[in-house]
Chains A and B, each alone.
Chain A
C-alpha cells in the first residue's frame, strides 16, 4: 500500500522527467535561488477592483512579462488582492518598470491595418487568421443588426476582404498646421513618420507584444493586436475605458425577443460614453474599411477591432462575430477590466542575490541535518533498538515528502522557499512525536502486563485516536494559515500541512505494520533489554500468581527494583505509596538479592527472580 503510494509518486515524477519538464530536484523559490520578487496591489481610483479585475490584471502582467522575453516568470495571486511577480535572475530595469506600470483601456478609431509580421499577401487566407475569437478584425458583418449595435465578425469569415489588402494610401503632404477634422482623419494623423513606424513594426519581434505603453491620447498610435497577427495605426483616444459602464457576454437576443445561437458581447456605456460612442459610430459608419473599425486597446495592444454597422445612439452596443462562449466571456472581462483603470502599488520588492540564496539553502539544510541527528540520538537513548523503527519511519516520511514536493513542483509549479524548508525541519519533530505517542501507549499496555502483540494491538487502538486528533488540529492550523496568508507564510503552512498528511500516511501504513511485524520477532517480542520494549524494565508484572495466605501477587517488583539496575547507591528508591506490603517470599527474595549484591556479582535481572 505504502509502497504503492511511493511508487506512484516517484513513478509519475520519473515519467515526468522523460516526457515533460519534471525534474528530480524540487524547484526552489526566489529566496533560495536568487531573483526578483514584486508584490503588487492593484489600486483603482474608481471603486474596488473585483476578483475578476485582479485576474485580468494578472493576465495583463503576464502578457507583458512573457512578451518581454523573461522566461520562467511566475505571476500568481495571493490572498484577496495581492499579485506576486517572481522573476528569476536579475531582470533588467525595463522589465521591472514594465511590470509596475499601470494599465488602461481606450477606444481608438482604426486608421490602417496590416499583417503584423511580414507575410506574403497571397497566403492571406482564413487559415492564417488567428483562431482566437477575441480579436475580430475587419470583415464585413453578415448579420444585420436589429438591436442597433456595432457589429463585427471575428476572423475566419471567408469573404475576400483581407486586412492586409487595405493598406492606407499614404498622404505624404498633410497640412500639418491645420487641425484634424476628426479622429479618423487619416490624412492628418498618418504623417510620414507614423507611416514609417507602421511599416517598420514587426509584431513577431521579441518585445513587440509587451504592451504597457498606452500611447499619447491625442496622437496616432501604432501597435499590434495581442496575438501579433495584425498591426494597426490608430487615431487618438475617442472613448476612454472609464466610460464603459459594464460589459457582459451571452447569446444574441433576436428581434423577436428569442435567444439566438450566436455568442455576443454587450457593452453598456456611461452617459458620457454614450454621447461619445454615438458620435464615433455615426462618423465611422460613413467610412471605408478599415477606417470604419474602432479598436479596443487594452494595455497598449488591440484586443478587438470591430466594424461599425449601425449608429448607436443609446450607448448599448453589441459585438458579434465568431465568438465561442469562452472568447466572448474573455472579451467581456477585458472590457470590464478596462472600465476600471488600475495602477499597481508596489507593496514589496525584493531582489535576492543568488549567493545569498544558496547560502541560506545550505544553512537550512545544515540545520535540518543537525536537528535530524539530534532527534535520532535522543530516540536511541529513549527507545533503544525501537528507535530503528523511528528512524525508518522518518526516512520513509522524508522520501515521500521529497517525492511529493518534486511532483508538485512539476505539476503545480510549487517552489520550495526558506520558510518552507523551516517547516520541513520543524516537521521532523512533529512526525517523530507521533511515534512517541504510539510507543508510549504500547509501553503503557506492557506495564499493564500484556504481551507485546496484545500491547501493540491495544496501544495502537488508543494511539491512533490521539494521533488523528492531534494531526487534525495541526492540519487545521496549516490550512487556515495557508488560506489566509501571503508570501512566506504560505510556503511554511504548505510544508507543515503536507508533512502532517504524510505523517498520518506513514504512521498508518508503515510504522504500525512494521511494529506488528517486529512484535513477532524474538528480539522485540521477547523483550530483550535493548529492545526498548523490555517488560521488566517497564515494570510490568511478571505474571499474576497465587502466593498463599489468600494473596495473589503480581511479580516481585520490589525485589527487582533492588537488583535490576547497577548503581544502587545514590539511586532513589521509589516510595511505595500503596498499602500492599511485602510478602514473605518477596522479603526472602530481597534478602537473597542483598546477599548477592554483597558478593558483588552482577547478575542479569532475569535470573534473580525469587519464585517460591
Chain B
C-alpha cells in the first residue's frame, strides 16, 4: 500500500498522473457553495446550542458516582430549588453533570451538599460552577475581536510574503469557508458551544491558513517564471503545484488529525462533555474541511483571480493559441497539454517540440 502510495506520489510529482483540480473549479466552487449555504441554514434552523458559559447558570459535577440515576439528581435539586428543571447528563465513566439556571450562593451550596449526600460521595467530589450571564458574551466578543485582528495580520503578512494580494484573498475565502462549515457541522451535531469550542474555532483560523500557505508556496514556486515561457499556462502550473503537494497535504492532514482524533475519542467516549471533547470536535471538522479547501478551493480560486490579471490573461491566451496552431487540439485544455510536470532532463517532448523546417517561398 505504502509503495503504491509512493508511486502515486511520484506520478503526481512528475505529472505523469495529474488530477485536473484547477480546471474543474466550477465543480469545487459549487460543492463549497452548497456546503456553505447548508451550514448557513443549519446555523439558523437548529442553530448553535449555547453552553452554560453563554447562557449563564449553575453547574454541578458529581464524580465517583456508583449509581447514575438521573431522577435522583433531579429530585435532589428540586428539593432545594423547587422551580428548577435541571438538565442532567452523564460525564465520563462515573460522573454526572447537572445544569440549572442561576442559583444564588446559598442555594448553590445547599444543592452541592444535597447532591453529595444523595449520591453518597464526599462533599469535595462535587464540582460546582457558576457563570454569570455576561461571561459568555464577553468571551464571544473577544473571539470576534480576535478573528478580525488575526485576519488583518494574516492579510498583511501573506500579501508581503507572496507579494500578491490575490494569494491573501484566496486564503481568506478558504478560511471563511472552513469556519462557516465547521460551525455549521457543530450546529448540526447539536453539542453545546462552550468557550472550548470557540478555542477550537479560533485554532482553525491558524490551521486553515497554515495549510493553505504550504500549497501556495509551491504554487508560487512553480509559477514564478510562468510568463517567461509559452509551454504551459498559469492554471496548468498551479494545477501541477496542487498535485505535487497532494501527498504532503494528505500526510499532513492524517498526522494532524490522528492526535485530534485521539482526543475526540477520549473526550467523547471516556470523559464525556467537557473541554477536550469540545475542542477536538471543532478541530477535527475544521482540519478536515481545511484540507479540502486548501486543495480544492484556495488554489482554483487564486487561479481564477489571477486569470483576471491582464498579464496572465494575455499569456494564457497566447499559450493556448500557440498550442492550437501547432495542431495539438486543446479541447479540455488541461487534460493533455503535454506532461505538465517537472521537466526531466533529456526526456523527449514529442515531435511538436522539434524545430520546424522553415518553409520559405522562394
Which A residues are within 8 Å of any B CB, using their own CB?
31, 34, 39, 41, 79, 82, 90, 93, 345-356, 359-360, 363-364, 366-368, 370-372, 374-375, 378-379, 381-382, 384, 418-419, 422, 425-426, 428-430, 432-433, 436-437, 440, 443-444, 447-449, 462, 465-466, 469-470, 472-474, 476-478, 480-481, 484-489, 492-493, 496, 537-539, 541, 544, 551-554, 561, 564-565, 571-572, 574-581
Contacts and interface: CB of A to CB of B under 8 A. Distances in A.
Contacts of B145: 484
B280 A375 contact: no
Nearest to B339: A578
Given A348-B129, A477-B150, A539-B14, A375 B276 contact: no
A425 to B, nearest CB: 5
A430 B203 CA distance: 12
A470 B214 contact: yes
Given A353-B127, A476-B150, A422 B280 contact: yes
Nearest to B258: A374
Contact of A422 (B1, B221, B279): B279
Contacts of A581: 348
B86 interface: no
B82 interface: no
* A-B complex: 8 closest residue pairs judged by Cβ atoms: A371-B259, A477-B206, A579-B350, A429-B256, A539-B10, A552-B346, A580-B348, A371-B262
Interface in B323-362: 336, 338-339, 342, 344-352
B163 interface: no
Contacts of A359: 63, 92, 95, 271
Interface stretch (B27-35, B71-79, B247-255, B298-306): B247-255
B260 interface: yes
Nearest to B13: A447
A541 B344 CA distance: 8
Nearest to B161: A469
B95 A356 contact: yes
Contacts of A381: 1-2
Contacts of A480: 146, 149-150, 153
A537 B274 CA distance: 46
B217 to A, nearest CB: 5
B270 interface: yes
A474 B132 contact: no
B196 interface: yes
B110 to A, nearest CB: 12
B213 A368 contact: no
Nearest to A544: B346
A436 B252 contact: yes
B138 interface: yes
A476 B129 contact: no
Contacts of B319: none
Given A382-B2, A430-B210, 14 more contacts: A34-B124, A360-B275, A374-B262, A429-B256, A432-B256, A433-B252, A476-B154, A476-B206, A489-B139, A492-B279, A554-B346, A577-B338, A578-B348, A580-B348
Contact of A440 (B130, B134, B154, B248): B248
A433 to B, nearest CB: 5
Contacts of A571: 4
Contact of B271 (A41, A354, A363): A363
Nearest to A466: B217
B87 interface: no
Interface of B: 1-7, 9-11, 13-18, 53, 61, 63-64, 92, 95, 109, 112, 124-132, 134-135, 138-139, 142-143, 145-146, 149-150, 153-154, 157, 161, 195-196, 198-199, 202-203, 205-207, 209-210, 213-214, 217, 221, 244-245, 247-248, 251-252, 254-263, 265-267, 270-271, 274-276, 279-280, 283, 336, 338-339, 342, 344-352
A447 B341 CA distance: 12
A359 B63 CA distance: 9
Contacts of B209: 473, 477
A447 B15 CA distance: 12
Task: Give chain B's interface secondary structure class.
Answer: helix
- Which DSSP category, helix, strand, loop or mixed, fits chain A's interface? helix
B15 A426 contact: no
Contacts of B127: 350-353, 356
Nearest to B252: A433
A349 B130 contact: yes
Contacts of A574: 7, 11, 16-17
A419 B196 contact: yes
Contacts of B125: 353, 355-356
A89 B131 CA distance: 20
B98 to A, nearest CB: 13
B8 to A, nearest CB: 8
A484 B259 contact: no
A487 B248 contact: no
Given A355-B64, A473-B157, A360 B276 contact: yes
Given A93-B109, A367-B266, A447-B10, A436 B251 contact: yes
A352 B259 CA distance: 26
A426 B275 CA distance: 14
Nearest to A552: B346
Given A367-B263, A430-B256, A539-B7, A448 B342 contact: yes
Nearest to B351: A579
Contact of B283 (A347, A349, A426, A580): A426
Contacts of A580: 347-350
Given A378-B255, A488-B275, A575-B16, A363 B266 contact: yes
Contact of A481 (B15, B126, B202, B251): B202
A348 B196 contact: no
B135 A348 contact: yes
A578 to B, nearest CB: 4
A349 B105 CA distance: 10
A486 B266 contact: no
A436 B131 contact: no
Given A429-B255, A473-B209, A363 B132 contact: no
21 contacts: A350-B127, A352-B127, A355-B63, A363-B270, A370-B262, A371-B260, A375-B259, A425-B260, A426-B260, A429-B255, A436-B248, A437-B214, A466-B213, A476-B157, A484-B146, A489-B195, A544-B346, A552-B345, A554-B346, A574-B17, A577-B338
Contact of A346 (B132, B203, B221): B132
Q: Which of A356, A360, A368, A485 has the most CB of B within 10 A?
A: A356
B199 A444 contact: no
A481 B195 CA distance: 13
Given A93-B109, A367-B267, A492-B203, A466 B350 contact: no
Contact of A488 (B64, B199, B248, B348): B199
A360 B352 CA distance: 67
Contacts of B63: 353, 355-356, 359
Contacts of A428: 259
A429 B259 contact: yes
A473 B64 CA distance: 43
B259 A544 contact: no
